[in-house]
Amino acid sequence: MKRVAWVFTSAPHGSSAGREGLDALLAASALSEEMGVFFIGDGVLQLLPEQQPAKILARDYIATFRVLPLYDIDRIWVCARSLRERGLASPTLVLEADIAEPDAWRARLNDYDVVLTF
């Protein structure tokens, strides 16, 4: 079975990429146990609590990322540099993740056969 990495790089609002990636990730979790999830760039914003998407007439799915451990998805990395660049040095995230510098998460990303970016 191929190892698949899911990389979230887009902000939670303004496009459906994050939602589509999350839907695909949850569906694929039934097929593979060898999956890793990476939040890089604006993708780190997907994990911030207390967002209010209704105020911009967007769907509220941010909290859905909390279910990843229920799907046995526990290899999750968040880019430390991306957090700092967005003024989120010590963020509270909606799920437990390894916060790693770019060199560390890139090394992990190289362990995967397929990389899907959303």
Each residue's pLDDT tens digit in the chain (118 positions)? 789 999 999 988 777 788 889 989 999 988 887 899 999 999 999 888 776 555 555 555 555 788 899 899 999 999 999 999 999 977 788 889 999 999 999 999 999 999 999 9
**Pairing state between β 4-8 and 35-39:** parallel
Residue 7: the pLDDT is 98
Sign of the dihedral through C-alpha 26, 111, 38, 69: positive
The Cα–Cα gap between 71 and 94 comes to 15
Tokens for 10, please give them: 């887009």
Its pTM surpasses 0.75: yes
Sign of the dihedral through C-alpha 110, 30, 26, 69: negative
Cα distances (Å, whole numbers) of residue 87 to 42, 64, 67: 12, 24, 26
Residue 18: the pLDDT is 84
